[in-house]
Amino acid sequence: MADVLVMGAGISGHTAAAYLRRKLSRKHKVIVVSPSAYFQWVPSNIWVGVGKMGIDQVRFGLKRVYDRWGIDFRQAKATGIFPEGKSESGRPFVRIEYTDDTSRGKAEDIHYDYLINATGPKLNFSATEGLGPGKFTHSVCSCDHASATWEALKACFSRMENGETLRFLIGTGHATATCQGAAFEYALNVAHQIRERNLQDKAEITWISNEYELGDFGMGGAFIKKGGYIIPTKVFSESIFAEYGIKWIKRAGVFRVDEGIAHYETLDGAKNSIAFDFAMLIPPFAGVGLKAFDRSGEEITSKLFAANGLMKVDADYSAKEFEEWSVGDWPSTYQSPAFPNIFATGIAFAPPHQISKPLKSPGGTLITPAPPRTGMPSGVIGKVVALNIAASIESGKAEFRHKASMGKMGAACVVSAGYGMLKGNAATMTVFPIVPDWQKYPEWGRDLSYTVGEAGLAGHWIKLFLHYMFLYKAKGNPLWWMIPE
């Protein structure tokens, strides 16, 4: 009998747990540890942040689903990994601390034969002084954050209706933040809601980002087919912002936020400030702070994790110049090189290098988006890791037939720009591969047969359909496994 422990129940962890339970016989145990009692469909937090969906429309309780599936669920956070156990013959284990109301603070050791780190990121608001909920900016990174952001946005609408002109600042809140797509989508939705209320003359919306050009999205931008033409995502993104009356500041790293004012440095070394009445700025991501220990209790965190707290996997982490990297440096099985029974999925794995070219200001500040791993890539990676582990357990052979390199994986992104069956709008973009392969596709870096972009009402219908389809899948409803990641 094998015990498989999954740390985290977000898109990647929940997907991994679902496929493990489906593929493994019941004599094997699947355990999920997550500090939250809920699964949430993060892409729809944008709609919570503009009041078009409530919290319970984007989340559901995990225990009922896991009880039905036969998964052992613990509402707890992992605090330490002991991959060697406590003795020569001891089994490896993870130390957890319960977060539910009845057992809060209680510690327990959970033994495993295979471990999947799917903890996702720490929302590292503290990396920028004054950033985040409870300080001077808002967030849509969780449904709770998004709900509070909607309350603040509503108050802004009331002020505008009473004659005030307000300044909105939306984008990234740190020089190395990622997830530009979420901020981009939120900016468009705020602009749409302002239009719906006929308050355009009372609003000034500014986008601020660490991207070298708009449409970089942490993946070096892309060339896409649109209407029979090949255009860069820079033009695609700028035209959408221009249509919605959104100004932009690029190549900017926010380094401090005070009440009503954000301070930022640009790649040319200038330090500027911009005033705001409402700000939603995405934080940088980091590892959740897990530590690792050997059997004697000595810390070996650096053996498993990179300096940013994300887990090292089967990637090339050697020091190379950016121009020397290739798609072959990216992981495909997400197995720890230090301990072969440990894997990391989704945002929990450490990327080997930037996809967007790393650039520094004259003062040495790195102002470049980190590589994106959210949404579709996280789900695909979680599935592939689960299938490989299940096959290894059932066959007794560690033969990983399933691969999921981001250099050979496509991704689709639907950025809503409004809500409603008749008034909705969305920009739909697909890229293949996510990490550009300049050897295979020397002209564009990607296959333009699958790298396309369009905007319109149909894209909004797709976004709505995906919301309900993926929640249906995540709840384990009949034939859920037939729905792709």
The 3-state secondary structure of the chain reads CCEEEEECCCHHHHHHHHHHHHHCCCCCEEEEEECCCEEECHHHHHHHCCCCCCHHHCEEEHHHHHHHHCCEEEEEEEEEEECCCCCCCCCCEEEEEECCCCCCCCEEEEECCEEEECCCCEECHHHCECCCCCCCCECCCCHHHHHHHHHHHHHHHHHHHCCCCEEEEEEECCCCCCCHHHHHHHHHHHHHHHHHCCCHHHEEEEEECCCCCCCCCCCCCCEEEECCEEEEHHHHHHHHHHHCCEEEECCEEEEEEECCEEEEEECCCCEEEEECCEEEEECCEECCCCEEECCCCCECHHHHECCCCCECCCCCCCCCCHHHCCHHHCCCCCECCCCCCEEECHHHECCCCCCCCCCECCCCCECCCCCCCCCHHHHHHHHHHHHHHHHHHHHCCCCCCCCCCCCCCCEEEEEECCCCCCCCCEEEEEECCCCCCCCCCCCCCCCCCCCEEEEEHHHHHHHHHHHHHHHHHHCCCCCHHHCCC
Pair 177, 275 in one domain: yes
The token pair at 369 is 């988006």
pLDDT of residue 346: 95
Pair 152, 165 in one domain: yes
pLDDT of residue 306: 96
Residue 158 lies in a domain: yes
Residue 402 lies in a domain: no
First to last CA, the chain: 29
Can you give the pTM of this predicted structure?
0.96
Q: Which of the listed residues 348, 371, 395 is the one where a domain comes to its end? A: 395
For residue 76, give Cα distances in angstroms to 7, 11, 31, 98, 474: 9, 17, 12, 4, 20
Q: Say which CATH number the domain at 140 has.
A: 3.50.50.100
Residue 274 lies in a domain: yes
Residue 403 lies in a domain: no
pLDDT of residue 105: 92
Residue 381 lies in a domain: yes
Tell me the residue range of the domain where 269 lies. 125-283+408-482
* CA–CA gap between residue 54 and residue 364 (Å, rounded): 43
Pair 115, 136 in one domain: no
Pair 320, 449 in one domain: no
Residue 160 lies in a domain: yes
Pair 332, 426 in one domain: no
Pair 223, 270 in one domain: yes
Residue 170 lies in a domain: yes
Residue 401 lies in a domain: no
Pair 381, 467 in one domain: no
Q: Which of the listed residues 334, 363, 395 is the one where a domain comes to its end? A: 395
Pair 278, 415 in one domain: yes
Pair 266, 415 in one domain: yes
* CA–CA gap between residue 356 and residue 230 (Å, rounded): 20
Pair 207, 344 in one domain: no
* CA–CA gap between residue 427 and residue 418 (Å, rounded): 10
Into how many domains does the chain fold?
A: 2
Per-run averaged pLDDT (10 residues), the chain, 485 residues = 97 98 97 98 96 97 98 98 86 96 94 97 97 98 97 98 98 95 95 96 98 94 83 91 96 98 98 98 96 96 96 95 93 97 97 95 96 91 98 90 94 83 80 94 92 83 93 97 94
Q: Which of the listed residues 337, 361, 395 is the one where a domain comes to its end? A: 395
